[in-house]
Amino acid sequence: MFANLVGDAGNFILGICVLLGAAFVYQRSRRAALFVALGGLGYALAVPFELLVDRWGFQVAGGAALSFLFFFIGVARHLVFFGGLAFGMRTLAQESA
């Protein structure tokens, strides 16, 4: 219980830090800052969504379906996060060249 809370808090704080870190990217490029901010926002907003699914999941889905849903949320979170960072770096590289 406590370990899950610490993990969720860490994920949320990481997403917020990346979201706020987009302000430093904004000095170089608005578009790159948008991608970085969207990546951080997607990472941070996955935590409340996971908590919502955790609270209501047992009423709606069974054990295997709930496990697959958590797996899907985790994969989607990382795709959005690293996709936002990659698109931000790509945009910076294209605009500086």
What is the residue whose two structure tokens read 């994920």? 11
Q: How many domains does the chain have?
A: 1
How far apart CA 47 and CA 74 sit, in angstroms, is 10
Give whole-number Cα distances, 91 to 14, 25, 87, in Å.
22, 11, 6
The reported pLDDT for the residue numbered 26 is 92
Read off the pLDDT band of 58 (50, 70, 90): low
pLDDT at 97 exceeding the cut of 90: no
Q: What pTM, to 2 d.p., does this model score?
A: 0.85
Task: State pLDDT tens for residues 73-89.
Answer: 999 999 999 999 999 99
The whole-number average pLDDT for the span 43-60 is: 85
How far apart CA 62 and CA 9 sit, in angstroms, is 26
Q: Which domain holds residue 26?
A: 2-96
What is the residue whose two structure tokens read 């830090």? 17
Torsion angle of C-alpha atoms 45, 48, 51, 57, degrees rounded to 10: -70
The whole-number average pLDDT for the span 41-62 is: 85
